[in-house]
Amino acid sequence: MSQDKCPVGVLISGRGSNMAALVEAAEAPGYPARIAVVIANKADAAGLDFARARGIPAIAVPHRDFADKAAFETAMTAELERHGVELVCLAGFMRLLSPVFIERWRDRLINIHPSLLPAYRGLHTHERALADGVRVAGCTVHFVVPEVDAGPIVAQAAVPVMPGDDADALSARVLAAEHRLYPHALALVASGAARVEGGAVVLTGVGAAPAPLIVPPIPS
């Protein structure tokens, strides 16, 4: 650990826009985490270049170079351990992780998902939300468990669905919220303000909740 900042490893598969948001947040002196390493399962992942430009170790561990998932995950864990990582963030990492890897990082592995879980687990979240006619979408940061998108929830951001939205428009609005939510959630976990107890997240020292988001808004 450096200057009491929790060392974090970030796993990506592509451009890593959420990774970039975490890196930028972690550059603040008072932020409780530092990005110790960025690992991609694709050698051409654009996010690796971003990390390197910020002076962060950025390593490709291509999953296709390994005989099986176990060997691939062993290699990732070796890199995480080599860089002293204590907490792992998934940021657009497009590989399902095995129960063995998840157990190795139990209660120290978080992910961001583009819906208000437990609604719309899995893929095509925005299309499904629009098909159901919801007025509020959003994103969730949660601890990772073997069941997909089912782990204890750390934090959520609500995003209004606007008239005429298609999946692309809603996705862009939710992604902007993700870039704010993920650094906030990581700070909660890294500082110990959010921790898992009895299968749920317990929060300490957080502020009062804001006013409810009402969609469509009540006329003023």
Ligand-binding site membership of 69 (annotated): yes
Candidate list 113, 126, 142, 179, residue with the active-site label: 113
| pTM assigned to the model | 0.95
Indicate whether 100 and 38 sit together in one domain.
yes
Residue 214 belongs to some domain of the structure: no
Query: Kind and range of the H or E element at 14?
Result: none
Enclosing domain of residue 125: 111-202
Residue 91 belongs to some domain of the structure: yes
Indicate whether 164 and 193 sit together in one domain.
yes
Residue 171 belongs to some domain of the structure: yes
Summarize pLDDT for 121-169 with one digit per residue, the tens.
999 999 999 999 999 999 999 999 999 999 999 999 999 999 999 999 9
CATH number at residue 13: 3.40.50.170
Q: How many structural domains is the chain composed of?
A: 2
Q: Is 63 assigned a catalytic role?
A: no
pLDDT of 209 reads 81
Contact partners, residue 160, CB within 8 Å, separation at least 6: 135, 136, 137, 173, 213, 215
Structure tokens at 23: 């890196």
Ligand-binding site membership of 170 (annotated): no
